[in-house]
Structure 1
């Protein structure tokens, strides 16, 4: 269970605004997803479908994300353009500890990230995004997580193929960490940020 009583107000910048992913935003989410086949492949390690995928396929996923958001189990947001007319991608803020347990993390790692208020964060940005959006998203997103969220710590996760995301995260004041997860079949990269020290 995610021990986040209330997420902060969604982030709004000159480049993008965040809004919780809700069923009424289905078409914007689906359009951005289908416009980004290479990004989706890299972000999901090829596990998310693109060919033949449409709004009818996406609706149950969006409903689940919205249900989790309302129940405070996990939080999913769309990056929207400032006018709110187009989706620029998707952000996921999820509890870290249950994932580490499920993936067979050792006792030291589990102790390090014990508790429900440590998050794993991932995101993707649409393939035809404006140049420079990746850096702006990483900087503003990290500031929002660090200063507004009631978290003990958070870790970003990305795949090596997400080169723009990896480059943007490497430029932030984060620690690249290695997490041994015997049951995880994918090779992820991790960046850690402590907000409050976990003892």
Structure 2
């Protein structure tokens, strides 16, 4: 009985306590939200010859097929790293990635979209909308397409479409496009500050 009373008292104290950040002057305040609470995040966007939908477990197979078809291309153009994609990615890792992206989307932390054919049977690439990590930019947008789509000229088309979509439909003041509008070397220097 005493343990229950003490537990209830502690729970009540936790509910009514003033947050530490409000108690101590100079304590770091959480950053402003990435996007406004009333912003309706797009969940289906149709473009010319493609559509964007949030990445998630239902897309694990076609997403895996897309990036595994273009390992070297993506290592050189998107990640600049041998860590992703790599030839030994397991299906479990692929699913974990999909669940992670779905969770970030649901929590409104970042927004990862698959770029699919209109019928949804093949992934042509991906578009990612992230919070800005470099002072002066409130968002970062990155995108990739498979090697076959790159060779067909779709990369330039998707980049131009994405810039127009972000400018029209999202509420950002200054968007960075690392590796595109900002060369990687410049972006790396900005991030090092």
Do residues 122 (structure 1) and 158 (structure 2) align?
A: no
Q: Does the C-alpha gap of structure 1 residues 150 and 8 become closer, same or farther in structure 2, counting only changes over 3 Å? A: farther
For residues 106-146 of structure 1, the C-alpha deviation after alignment (integer angstroms, 9 at most, x for no partner) is xxxx3x34xxxx21011110111161211221121111100
Larger RCO: 1 or 2 (CA < 8 Å, sep 6+): 1
The TM-score, its normalising length taken from structure 1, stands at 0.69
1:22 paired with 2:43, answer: no
Size of the aligned set, in residue pairs, is 152
What secondary structure is seen at the aligned counterpart in 1 of 2:125?
strand
Residue 137 of structure 1 corresponds to 158
Matched, 1:3 2:35: yes
Query: Could you say what secondary structure the match of 1:3 adopts?
Result: coil
Q: Distance in 2 between matches of 1:84 and 1:55?
A: 20
**1: distance between equivalents of 2:99 and 2:52?**
18
Whether 1:36 and 2:106 are equivalent positions in the alignment is no
Q: CA RMSD in A?
A: 2.1
Unaligned runs of 5+ in 2: 1-32
In the alignment, is the contact (CA less than 8 A) between 2:55 and 2:114 conserved in 1? yes
Unaligned runs of at least 5 residues, structure 1: 101-109, 159-165, 171-176, 184-199
On the 8 A contact 1:8/1:149 being kept in 2, the answer is no
> How many angstroms does 1:49 deviate by?
4.0
Distance 2:105 2:65 in 1: 21
Higher helix fraction: Structure 1 or Structure 2? 2
**Bigger radius of gyration:** 2
Deviations 1:93-113 (A, max 9, x none): 0000xx33xxxxxxxxx3x34
Match of 2:102 in 1: 66
Distance 1:157 1:10, change over 3 A: farther
Q: Counterparts of 1:70-89 in structure 2 under 5 Å?
A: 70-89=106-125
Query: Normalised by the size of structure 2, how large is the TM-score?
Result: 0.71
Distance 2:36 2:51 in 1: 21
Maintained 8 Å contact 1:4/1:72? no
